[in-house]
Chain A
């Protein structure tokens, strides 16, 4: 069983739709990361959160530590949001040692 599970694997949406990507993990963690990877490979850290909710622009991330579950929401999606979204958790208490989900490939159509 993977320690970090993401769903869905692929997601196609129409511009303007509300999008939710889910992440479940099986290890105890102090924080969870949401990352965005565009074609070409560059990875950008979107959020690091250990409780509750964080918001940045149209992106919202929530986490429920008890349920070991996090969600990434995108409101009013736009074609430029098309990317792979990856959740990651630190392993063994070391923040520099991340375990990654397989990623969710999002495609937003105009």
Chain B
């Protein structure tokens, strides 16, 4: 099976612009989570989607938004970019067992965003 893919891999934007990042999960996975990684804050949870519904949202401003499509692909959008948004954005997918239990997260390679 192909792994989790993210596009683009690298991106340079300027303050005030907006950006859309894409994540394609492993085939059959219906859960997608997004994370931001910065040197200062480490890894932080952004959102979690399952079957096109946002299940959880982390403590980020409303400039950060996301969505999931019927094929489980997900996008996240950051509007009015700030310098502090420079980070590695990672998505992870998992197959949510119908019977509950725990899920292994499979991470994509990330999109490295630089805001100038």
Contacts and interface: CB of A to CB of B under 8 A. Distances in A.
A101 B41 CA distance: 10
Interface residues of B, number: 29
Interface in A42-56: 42-45, 48, 50
Chain B binding surface SS class: strand
Nearest to B112: A41
Given A91-B45, A96-B33, A96-B50, A48 B102 contact: yes
Contacts of B90: 41, 43
A33 B105 contact: yes
Contacts of A30: 101-102
A33 B44 CA distance: 15
Interface residues of A, number: 26
Nearest to A88: B43
A101 B101 CA distance: 22
Contacts of A44: 107
Given A96-B48, A96-B103, A98-B33, A42 B56 contact: no
A33 B96 CA distance: 16
Nearest to B93: A96
A104 B115 CA distance: 27
A99 interface: yes
B64 interface: no
Given A94-B48, A100-B42, A41 B109 contact: yes
A13 B90 CA distance: 29
A103 B42 contact: yes
With most chain B CB atoms within 10 A of its CB, the pick from A35, A94, A102 is: A94
Interface of A: 30-31, 33, 35, 41-45, 48, 50, 86, 88, 90-92, 94-103
Interface of B: 31-33, 35, 37, 42-45, 48, 50, 55-56, 58, 88, 90, 92, 94, 96, 101-107, 109-110, 112
23 contacts: A31-B102, A33-B105, A41-B88, A41-B112, A42-B109, A43-B92, A43-B110, A45-B104, A45-B105, A45-B106, A88-B43, A95-B31, A95-B105, A96-B32, A96-B92, A96-B103, A97-B45, A97-B55, A97-B58, A98-B45, A100-B42, A101-B42, A102-B42
